[in-house]
Amino acid sequence: MTVPSAVQLILFGAAGDLAHRKLIPALYDLHREGHLPDEVDVVGVDLQEMDPAAFVEFSCDAADSLGRFFPRDADADNWAAFSERLSYVQGDATEPETYARLGEHLEKVGPKGERPHRVFYLSVAPFLVESIVKNLAEAGLLDDVERDRFVVEKPFGRDAESARQLDRVLLGTADEGQVYRIDHYLGKETVQNLLAFRFANALFEPVWDARYVDHVQITVSETVGVEHRGGYYEGAGAMRDMVQNHLLQLLCLVAMEPPVAFKADEVRNKKVDVLRAVRPVTRERVHEVAVRGQYGEGFLRGERVPGYREEPKVAKRSATETYAALKLEVDNWRWHGVPFYLRTGKRMPRRVSEISVQFRPVPHRAFPSGADEAFQPNRLVLRIQPDEGIVLRFQAKRPGPQMLLQPVAMRFDYDEAFDTPPDAYETLLLDAIRGDATLFMRADQVEAAWQVVDPVLEAWAESPPAEFPNYAAGTWGPAAADRLLARDGRSWSEPLPSDPIPPGTAPEAVADAHPEEGEGGTGHPG
């Protein structure tokens, strides 16, 4: 798809955290790299009083504070050209008058002649989404089904029923093709590369099934706590905040069948098929397949950090989980009998997002006694963050006169092979501008994901945990999560270090060289 010749991108919640940290820098990078059309307007909308000059200054501060693009004195021409396209409309998102002013403003700043495409980005609290969409429709700003669309940030409801209710409102005022439900994980290069890795290469797809794969692990761990977003997190928890969206989307990409064509609905159809094939978790089985945890005080990189209940805006006896692990099974011909283990947590030892595919061991080892004492099954790891790349572990003979096997790693690193990958929001914003919904979620996909986790959430709500906090900050989660795999004769894989492992060094002895904080959903921006 090509970028339209004229675009207006309207940021609701333009004075908020997400706009400041991600959206405005991403738009500038797209402009600087020549991906945006010459006829582009970026219009901020927020309750905060701010004149156009102040919004330009706010936007430049967002850039400078991240260091992601050049300050004005180092990149003056690009910044001057971009800042000319910035404007601002102050107003209450719940008041119809705001949309009348917005409509007039868009006509004023827009190009003469051809009607521009319009993308409304709703970087706001969830309770404002319905009001904004209804007001946009009533103001006639969503009338052009082909050219008008809006982007909605997660969370998409709190369960399947609330997600259906939200969609009834959205689809009562707009067409499904105008609704872009964003999950920023799907914009990461390694996540997208999983499709290329599987379906553009003949090497791995023939063994990508239950005959050869023993199990799959998906880990998203963060070193951060809830920081200043305890109020949001108290109403969400790890299962709603990370598993229902990010981790289940990764599961879909691992398990989906080959699409007939790389088109939005075809790819999304295959993802929905996976979610519908997930074996339902009954209330009676929740304790067998799900584990929750909450971090207590502990130490990270030698410094004491508080427990979750000590964080601002968190209840002193909070039952909110900051860790969740889940064992799922996909009941179809390709994956029958292969468990998928998902885990996510805050205040973990390292910031890691990776997919680990462990293959079955060879059926017969024809090596001398003692030759394969260090044998480990083949393992394919797709590293999403940090240091995006792919690692394949296999056996090799150690140098010397004897036949001794040792696991070694074959590595592909994005930064070495290509330029630094673009930020996920750059990819997704450009797709929204183009009208390419491949990496965005459809209503039935969101509902199917909620149906996977709803039984777990309902069971947890009925039986508040008695042992919270049950893991110390700086550890890999509660002991119950280890038992979840131990019952199957397996264990969690140690996430791969960022740097190659020197021979004879245990993975756990290698320090994480990239301790920067995670991007996971610690709260809704805006």
Residue partners of 504: CB distance under 8 A and separation at least 6: none
Query: Rounded to whole angstroms, what are the CA distances from 63 to 69, 242, 355, 479, 517?
Result: 6, 27, 32, 42, 18
- Beta strands 148-153 and 117-122 are parallel
Per the annotation, does 287 bind a ligand? no
Q: Is 31 a catalytic residue?
A: no
CA dist 165 → 6, 25, 130 (Å):
34, 33, 10
Query: According to the annotation, is 134 in a ligand binding site?
Result: no
214 marked as binding residue:
no
The response to whether 161 counts as a known ligand-binding position is: no
* b (16+ CB within 10 A) / e for 505-521: eeeeebebeeeeebbbb
Amino acid 127 reads F
95 annotated binding-site participant: no
d(CA 346, CA 411): 28
Using alpha carbons only, give the angle 326, 330, 333 rounded to the nearest 5 degrees: 160
CB 68 within 8 A of CB 56: no
Alpha-carbon distances, residue 365 vs 193, 278, 361, 395, 419 (angstroms): 33, 34, 9, 12, 42
22 is in an annotated binding site: no
Burial status of residue 469 (CB atoms within 10 A of its CB: 0-12, 13-18, 19 or more) = buried
Cis preceding-peptide flag for 515 (omega within 30 of 0):
no
Q: How far is CA 311 from the centre of its chain?
A: 24
Greatest pairwise CA separation for the chain in angstroms: 83
CA distance 321 to 324: 7
Length of the chain: 526
The three-state secondary structure class of 177 is: helix
Please tell me which residue in 20, 246, 287, 524 is annotated as part of the active site: 246
CB neighbours of residue 429 within 10 Å:
25
Residue numbers in the known binding site are 154, 184, 188, 222, 241, 346
Residue numbers in the known binding site for NADP(+) are 154
Active site residues: 246
